[in-house]
Amino acid sequence: QQQVKQSPQSLIVQKGGISIINCAYENTAFDYFPWYQQFPGKGPALLIAIRPDVSEKKEGRFTISFNKSAKQFSLHIMDSQPGDSATYFCAALPIKAAGNKLTFGGGTRVLVKP
Amino acid sequence: KAGVTQTPRYLIKTRGQQVTLSCSPISGHRSVSWYQQTPGQGLQFLFEYFSETQRNKGNFPGRFSGRQFSNSRSEMNVSTLELGDSALYLCASSLAPRGYGNTIYFGEGSWLTVV
């Protein structure tokens, strides 16, 4: 059962454009939603994270939008740069439950063309 | 401050053998979790340890096991290796098992190829 669905699987954006990645979850116990960036040969690195009591969070060129009623959240990469070319994973964590068991989306491979 | 360190980074094993992977968490971190990453299944949770106790376990067969030592370092073991066990095995650490400010950091992983 895929509890976090991520789309698209891949996207190509021109330098300076906006990359948008969407995720939807089913488990209402999830209440912490991090995004990870992964470059080839490297482990995932935390990019930005949001809690469900916040509808939007911005850090530099990266913004998370969160819609609790729709159980959806998205990552916007503004002014995309070639260095942003990587695979992005959304994830969800049931904070109130015991443990750090992250459930990941399937990933989105982003290619930013110069 | 050193990050999560995993050893070995690359290894090749033969089907039927067993393998042990090691993880040193960030200094002061007491929670360690393991994930398997494959092109087909993506990132999947294996298990989590805190204070030398397994706190959570994912849907993997009993061939996959782990442990945590008193210094928070962790090892995972896969016995009777199968071709499908070829994957990137990622270790992650955090200060504690729960909490919003509890960032989870990943290591660079151990690439396992089973032939």
Over residues A87-107, the mean pLDDT reads 87
Per-residue pLDDT, B5: 97
Amino acid identity of B21? L
Work out the angle at residue A65's Cα, subtended by the Cα atoms of residues A44 and A104, and round it to the nearest 5 degrees.
35
Over residues A41-50, the mean pLDDT reads 92
Over residues B1-17, the mean pLDDT reads 94
B57–chain A Cβ distance below 8 A for any pair: no
Residue B97 has pLDDT above 80, yes or no: no
Q: What is the rounded average pLDDT for all residues in chain B?
A: 93
Q: B45-49, long-range: CB within 8 Å, 24+ apart, which pairs?
A: B45/A101, B45/A102, B45/A103, B46/B76, B46/B89, B47/B76, B48/A99, B48/A100, B48/A101, B48/B97, B49/B74
Per-residue pLDDT, B24: 98
Per-residue pLDDT, A55: 92
Q: How deeply is B5 buried, as exposed, middle or buried, from its count of CB atoms within 10 A (0-12, 13-18, 19+)?
A: middle
Residues from chain B contacting residue A42 (CB–CB below 8 Å): 108-109
Contact check, Cβ <8 Å, B48/A101: yes
Residue B100 has pLDDT above 60, yes or no: no
Q: What percent of chain A has pLDDT over 70?
A: 96
Give the pLDDT band of residue A28 (cuts 50, 70, 90): confident
Residues from chain B contacting residue A49 (CB–CB below 8 Å): 103
Contact check, Cβ <8 Å, A98/B45: no
Per-residue pLDDT tens for B63-84?
999 999 999 999 999 999 999 9
Residues from chain A contacting residue B90 (CB–CB below 8 Å): 43-44
Give the pLDDT band of residue A41 (cuts 50, 70, 90): confident
Per-residue pLDDT, B74: 98
CB B107 within 8 A of CB B3: yes
Give the pLDDT band of residue A99 (cuts 50, 70, 90): confident
Residue B95 CA, chain-centre distance (Å), reads 16
Q: Give the Cα separation of A36 and A40 in Å (integer).
A: 13
Per-residue pLDDT tens for B41-53?
899 999 999 989 9
Per-residue pLDDT, B95: 87
B104–chain A Cβ distance below 8 A for any pair: yes
SS3 track for chain A: CCCEEEECCEEEEECCCCEEEEEEECCCCCCEEEEEEECCCCCCEEEEEECCCCCEEEECCEEEEEECCCCEEEEEECCCCHHHCEEEEEEEECCCCCCCCCEECCCEEEEEEC
Lowest mean pLDDT among A78-87, A96-105, B12-21: A96-105
- B58/chain A closest Cα distance in angstroms: 8
- Scan for tokens 């200094």, then name that residue: B27
Q: How many Cβ atoms are within 10 Å of B44's Cβ, its own excluded?
A: 17
Q: Which residue has the higher pLDDT, B48 or A96?
A: B48
Per-residue pLDDT, B1: 64
Q: What is the rounded average pLDDT for all residues in chain A?
A: 92
Buried b (16+ CB within 10 A) or exposed e, B77-111: ebeebeeebebbbbbbbbbebbeeebebbbbbbbb
Q: Give the Cα separation of A7 and A74 in Å (integer).
A: 10
Per-residue pLDDT, A97: 67
